[in-house]
Amino acid sequence: MYVIEKPTCQYCGRNDPGICNDCNRWRSHKLINKNRAVYRYNPFLKDLIARFKYRGDYILIEPLSLMIQKTFKMSYPKLPKKTVLVPIPLSSERLRSRGFNQAEAVAKCLPYPSVQLLKRTEGEKQAKKNRKQRLRMNNPFELFNQVDTELIMLIDDIYTTGATIHHAALILQKNGYRNISSFTLVR
């Protein structure tokens, strides 16, 4: 399934050869420390994510959970005790139609408390946007809650262009949170 064991991009965790153009853009903003992912995106994972996310096969998280835990521990071996997971939220409409948040499903596999700090203000699907549209979109998040923490770990299912993770991190930084990393199922 293309497990990412040694990422070539130290920022986003991608393991494709060559320079990561997305990271050249995002690193200058200094919004997150780094992103790490379990799997490299490929046709098999595209189908699996579609079944999990869009067809409601929540049970698919179970066979992935051990690799999620292993990769997280390997990628982030020494986290502060006051680390909280912040799953990327869905719009209320999308949550109702799916019945679950796929980012929360990933977070439940990990050994830290999960907190809802963000609220999605617009519900347009990312999957329907091309690369250019994703990078130009308005920030779809606002702060919903507060928490006392040393590190925020943003959790999502897929890191494509980095726009979602970085929009979430921007809102968190504007509200005083400075130590932010992210973890995704797929990159």
pLDDT tens track for 17-51? 666 777 777 777 789 999 999 999 899 989 998 88
> Across residues 116-139, what is the average pLDDT?
71
Phi, psi of 155 (to 5 degrees): -125, 130
Tell me the percentage of the chain whose pLDDT exceeds 70. Answer: 89
Name the pLDDT band for 59 (thresholds 50, 70, 90). Answer: confident
pLDDT tens track for 130-184? 656 656 677 889 998 999 999 999 999 999 888 899 999 999 999 999 999 999 9
For 10, half-sphere exposure in the C-beta direction (CA atoms, 13 angstrom radius) is: 2
Mean pLDDT, the chain, rounded, equals 88
For 157, half-sphere exposure in the C-beta direction (CA atoms, 13 angstrom radius) is: 23
What is the structure's pLDDT at 156? 97
What is the structure's pLDDT at 174? 95
The dotted CATH code for 21-186 is: 3.40.50
Name the pLDDT band for 123 (thresholds 50, 70, 90). Answer: low
